[in-house]
A and B are shown apart, each in its own frame.
Chain A
Amino acid sequence: MLNIALPKGRLGDKVYDLFSSIGYDCAAIKEDNRKLVFENEKNGVRYLLVKPSDVAIYVEHGAADIGVVGKDTLLETTPDVYELLDLGLGKCRLAVAAKNGWQEDLSLPLRVATKYPHVAKAYYDAQSRQIEIIKLNGSIELAPILGLSDVIVDIVETGTTLKENDLSVFADVVPSSARLIANKASYQFNANEINTICSRIKEKL
Chain B
Amino acid sequence: MEISLSRLPKEEQVTLTLGSVFEQRGYRRYQMSNFETYDMYLANKSFLESEGVITFTDASGRLMALKPDVTMSIVKNTKQNDTSNKLYYIESVFRSVEHGSNYREIPQMGVEYIGAKSAYAEAEVAELAVRSLEAISKDCILNISHMGFITGLLNSMNIPDDLRGDIVKSISGKNEHGVIAAASAAGCTEQQVQTLSGLVQLSGRFKSTLKKAENLVENDEMKTSLAALKSLYLALCEAKADDNVRLDFSIINDLDYYNGLIFRGYVKGVPHCVLSGGRYDKLMRRFSKPQCAVGFALYLDELGRAYADKRQYDVDTLLLYNENALSQTVMTAVQYLMKTVPSVRAETQLPQNLRFRRLLVLNEDGTVTEKEVVKC
Contacts and interface: CB of A to CB of B under 8 A. Distances in A.
Interface stretch (A8-16, A130-138, A178-186): A178-186
A67 to B, nearest CB: 13
Nearest to A191: B204
A51 interface: no
B82 interface: no
Given A82-B173, A83-B175, A188-B141, A61 B268 contact: no
A60 B139 contact: no
Contacts of A80: 272
Interface residues of B, number: 19
A81 B273 CA distance: 11
Interface in B198-240: 203-204
Contacts, number: 46
B175 A82 contact: yes
A197 interface: no
Interface string A175-199: 0000000111111110100000000
Given A185-B271, A185-B273, A83 B178 contact: yes
Interface residues of A, number: 19
B266 A82 contact: no
A84 interface: yes
B346 to A, nearest CB: 42
A10 to B, nearest CB: 23
B174 interface: yes
B15 interface: no
Contacts of A191: 203-204
Return the 3 tightest CB-CB contacts between A and B, nearest first.
A62-B271, A83-B175, A82-B174
Interface of A: 60-62, 80-86, 182-189, 191
12 contacts: A61-B271, A62-B271, A80-B272, A85-B177, A86-B177, A183-B271, A184-B272, A185-B270, A185-B272, A187-B174, A189-B139, A189-B266
